[in-house]
Amino acid sequence: MELTPGLIGRVSIVVDDLDTAKAFRSSDVPVLATPRVVALMEEATCKAIEGKLGEGMTSVGVRVQIDHIAPTVPGRSIGAEALLQQVEGRRLTFSVKTTDSNGLLAVGVITRVVVDRAHFLEKAQPK
């Protein structure tokens, strides 16, 4: 593994109606849904370590802590950024944020763990 603190991943989208709290059924308002914010942030964490894991390895999310502090509406461009802050064995800790042209939308910390893909999927199978 070539994982060192300082790796950055960035992703962006234009918010559409399918990204709203109303569509996610997490509220009845047509603004960016918190679950969609989390998904975008997780995508940025994956982007930060893309190509850095050994063959057959992947990472999985184990903890998400965010504050969703501002709304945004469909049609707005938003971006998520993840910065790898700490590597402790297989545990990766990222600081994450999401912004639009008005500023900060959400901020937080996401923890992922590096796992062997085949072994992980085997554990997920019913017994």
CATH number of the domain that residue 115 is part of: 3.10.129.10
Q: Is residue 91 part of a domain?
A: yes
Q: What are the residues whose beta carbons fall under 8 Å from the beta carbon of 105, sequence distance 6 or more?
A: 32, 37, 68, 69, 70, 71, 72, 78, 98, 99
1: in domain? no
How confident is the model at residue 96, as a pLDDT?
98
d(CA 52, CA 104): 29
Helices and strands: H and E segment counts in the chain: 3, 5
In whole angstroms, give the CA distance from residue 116 to residue 13: 30
Contact call for residues 99 and 106 (beta carbons, < 8 A): no
Model confidence pTM above 0.85 = yes
Per-residue pLDDT tens digits of the chain, which is 127 residues long: 689 999 999 999 999 999 999 999 999 999 999 999 999 999 999 999 999 999 999 999 999 999 999 999 999 999 999 999 999 999 999 999 999 999 999 999 999 999 999 999 999 898 8
In a domain, 110, yes or no: yes
Instruction: Tell me the β-bridge partners of 57.
Output: 116
CB of 106 closer than 8 Å to CB of 68: yes
| Count of domains observed in the chain | 1
- What domain range includes position 28? 8-124
Token pair recorded at residue 121: 């999927």
